[in-house]
A and B are shown apart, each in its own frame.
Chain A
Amino acid sequence: GQNIDQPTEMTATEGAIVQINCTYQTSGFNGLFWYQQHAGEAPTFLSYNVLDGLEEKGRFSSFLSRSKGYSYLLLKELQMKDSASYLCAVMDSNYQSIWGAGTKLIIKP
């Protein structure tokens, strides 16, 4: 079967750095997405990785290793507004998105 694994919840301190991991097992691979979702709102796009390596976009970076079926989202200089759920999604060989359950990130002052 296909599955996406990510931690259920993480806690970090304002100003610090946090890494949210995502491992996947899918039939084929056509890219991995990270989305941010605040409570009661729809997800918003953060990043897309299809090749191995690190993609940096401001305070957020996303890394992919296709051979390991592994990705992480790195958030630097954490702000209180970063408190949200972070969803990992993989597009399989049929271009269907398989969604992880999300990681709830709690930022403490």
Chain B
Amino acid sequence: GAVVSQHPSRVICKSGTSVKIECRSLDFQATTMFWYRQFPKKSLMLMATSNEGSKATYEQGVEKDKFLINHASLTLSTLTVTSAHPEDSSFYICSARDSGDSYEQYFGPGTRLTVT
């Protein structure tokens, strides 16, 4: 089956530092990847849609200069949280859409970010 990995699974960083999260599709090519954020007991909130080789499309209210997304290859997208603040602490989940599939999204295991 389609597998998406995410690294790291947990990260703790200090305010003002930057954190990079990697999302990889392991056994399929993903022209489109999605980045979500989820607060406790809340649903997924789409942050941005990342297309390989082009700029990401950010949802309204998401600061593109703060949440840098790069989708350099068909199997890798990265999310960098720049100058992190405690309010950025959240569960970040990526998903990938198989280029040749039925639009099903395959989710990574998520990254728990804690900013102190």
Contacts and interface: CB of A to CB of B under 8 A. Distances in A.
A97 interface: yes
Interface in A67-109: 87, 91, 95-97, 99-102, 104
Interface residues of A, number: 21
Nearest to A104: B41
Given A30-B103, A97-B105, A41 B46 contact: no
Interface in B83-113: 91, 93, 102-110, 112
Contact of A87 (B34, B44, B102): B44
Interface in B41-67: 41-44, 46, 49
A82 to B, nearest CB: 18
B45 to A, nearest CB: 8
Contacts, number: 44
Contacts of B109: 41-42
B102 A97 contact: no
Interface string A3-34: 00000000000000000000000000011010
B50 to A, nearest CB: 13
A87 B103 contact: no
Interface in A12-66: 30-31, 33, 35, 40-45, 48
A95 B103 contact: yes
Contacts of B44: 43, 87, 99
Contacts of B6: 42
A45 B46 contact: no
A64 to B, nearest CB: 15
Interface of A: 30-31, 33, 35, 40-45, 48, 87, 91, 95-97, 99-102, 104
